[in-house]
Amino acid sequence: MREATIDLAAIARNVETLTAAAHGARTMVIVKANAYGHGAVPVARAVVDVGADWLGVADLDEAHELRDAGIDAPVLAWLHDPEADFAAAVDRGVDIGVSYLEQLERVAACGSRAHVQLKVDTGLSRNGAARDDWAEFFETAAAHERAGRIVVRGVWSHLSNTNEDEDNAQAADFAEALAAASVAGLDPELVHLAATAGTLRVPAARFGLVRLGISTYGLSPFGDATSAGLGLTPAMELSASIASVKRVAAGSGVSYGYDYRTPAETTLALVPLGYADGIPRHASSRGPVSINGVTYRIAGRVAMDQIVVDVGDSEVSVGDRAVLFGDPAAGVPSADDWAEASDTINYEIVTRIGPRVKRRYLP
C-alpha cells in the first residue's frame, strides 16, 4: 500500500512557531497545489484552528474546493484563467488577486462587489502590475471603489529570495508602490510582501501580513538551514509496503537499461512507488529508502510504478514498510535528501506526490 502519512499536529505547531516569528504580523497560510501535496481541506482546517488569519490558493477552483468543504475562513486566489468566473467566487467570499488593468476591469464588471487585492511587480517579473502602470492601476481601482464596484482589501507583491540586498531593494520598491496607492486614494486593510523566507530573514518585508508556504509543512526554504534548525517538523512521511522480495545472482541487471548490476549475490526488494506517484526519475540509483531502520539507495532506474532496492543480505520480507522520506529525527531520509538526489528542491518533492498515494491523517 502506498501511503503519505500527514501529521496535522506537526503542521499546527509549525504555524504557531512561524506566527511567533512574524512579530505581530497577521498570517496567510498557503494551501495551493493541494497544500503542497498534503491535502488542502484537512490542512486548511488544522491551520485555521490554530489561528491562521487567511488562506491562500493559486486559482479559483482551489478556492471553491475549500468553500465546498465548509471552510469559511478568508481566502485569496491570485492566478486566473482569462475566462474565470469571478462573480461566482466573489459571491462565496473569495478575495480576487488582480495583477493588471484589464483584469481589474473584468472583476469590477462582474456584477458583484468584489474584494480585491492588487498585486504589483517589484522585481520577480511574474504576476503583478509593472512600475510604469502603478499610477493608472491604482487610480482606476480607486475609481471603481468609489463607485461601489470593488473594495480594495489589499496590496501585495512577492520577493525573489535572491539575496539580502535584492530582497531589501524589493521591500523599498514595494513601499513606493504603497505610497502610489495612497496618492490614488487607496487605504488597503492588508499589505503583504513576505512569504516564508522573507518572514524569517527579511524584517523589512513583513509589513502587516505574511504568507506562510513551505514552512507550514515543516520544510526549510533555505539551503543553509534545516527544518530542525528553524524549529519546524516535517509533516509528511511517504512509504509503501514491499511488494516482492527475491534473491538474485551477482551481475544481475536491475530495472530498465541495466544501469545497475548487482555486485554480488543479493536480495532485491520491490517498492510500489514510481514516477506516476511523483517519485523523481532523476533520483534513479540515488534516492534513499529506509527499510527496517537501514537506509539504502535505489538500485537502477525509477520506473512508472516501482523502484527496486538492493538490501544485500539483510532480512527483508514482503509487507515490510519502505520509507522514502519523512522526519529525519525519526531516522529516515528527508524530503531535502530526496531533493539533493534529484537535483531539485524540497517543494517539488512533496508537491508532486500523486493521487494514487493514499493520504492518512494523524490528528
- Among 8, 14, 9, CA closest to 212: 14
Residue 231 lies in a domain: no
Same domain? For 122 and 153 the reply is yes
Q: Is 119 a residue of the active site?
A: no
Q: Which residues contact 129 (CB under 8 A, 6 or more apart)?
A: 99, 100, 101, 118, 119, 120, 121, 137
Same domain? For 99 and 221 the reply is yes
pLDDT bucket at 76, cuts 50 / 70 / 90: very high
Q: What phi and psi values does residue 243 have, to the nearest 5 degrees?
A: -95, -25
- Host H or E run for residue 74: none
Q: Which residues of 59-85 are buried (b: 16+ CB within 10 A; e: fewer)?
A: bbebbbbbbeeebebbbbbbebeeebe
Average pLDDT over all residues of the chain: 97
User: What is the spatial distance between Cα 37 and Cα 40, in angstroms, rounded to a whole number?
Assistant: 8
pLDDT of residue 340: 97
Q: How many domains does the chain have?
A: 2
Beta bridge partners of 7: 362
Same domain? For 187 and 46 the reply is yes
pLDDT bucket at 178, cuts 50 / 70 / 90: very high
pLDDT of residue 313: 98
pLDDT digits (tens, 9 = 90+) for 126-138: 999 999 999 999 9
Same domain? For 334 and 218 the reply is no
Residue 7 has pLDDT above 90, yes or no: yes
Same domain? For 210 and 302 the reply is no
Same domain? For 325 and 178 the reply is no
State the average pLDDT over residues 13-17.
98
Residue 180 has pLDDT above 90, yes or no: yes
User: What is the spatial distance between Cα 41 and Cα 68, in angstroms, rounded to a whole number?
Assistant: 10
pLDDT digits (tens, 9 = 90+) for 294-332: 999 999 999 999 999 999 999 999 999 999 999 999 999
Q: Could you tell me the residue range of the domain that residue 267 belongs to?
A: 236-362
Residue 12 has pLDDT above 90, yes or no: yes
pLDDT of residue 225: 85
Same domain? For 212 and 148 the reply is yes
Q: Which of 246, 256, 258, 358 is catalytic?
A: 256
Residue 305 lies in a domain: yes
Q: What cell does 66 get? A: 475549500
Predicted TM-score of the model (pTM)? 0.96
pLDDT bucket at 30, cuts 50 / 70 / 90: very high
% of the chain with per-residue pLDDT over 70: 100
Same domain? For 196 and 282 the reply is no
Same domain? For 213 and 262 the reply is no
- Among 184, 115, 104, CA closest to 148: 115
In residues, how long is the chain? 363
Residue 203 has pLDDT above 90, yes or no: yes
Instruction: Choose one of 226, 251, 270: the last residue of a domain.
Output: 226
Indicate which CATH number applies to the domain containing 281: 2.40.37.10
Q: Which of 32, 36, 217, 260 is catalytic?
A: 32
pLDDT of residue 199: 96
Range name among 58-62, 102-106, 128-132, 164-168 with the lowest pLDDT average? 164-168
Same domain? For 23 and 163 the reply is yes
pLDDT digits (tens, 9 = 90+) for 204-244: 999 999 999 999 999 999 988 889 999 999 999 999 999 99
Q: Is 256 a residue of the active site?
A: yes
Q: Which amino acid is at 215?
A: S
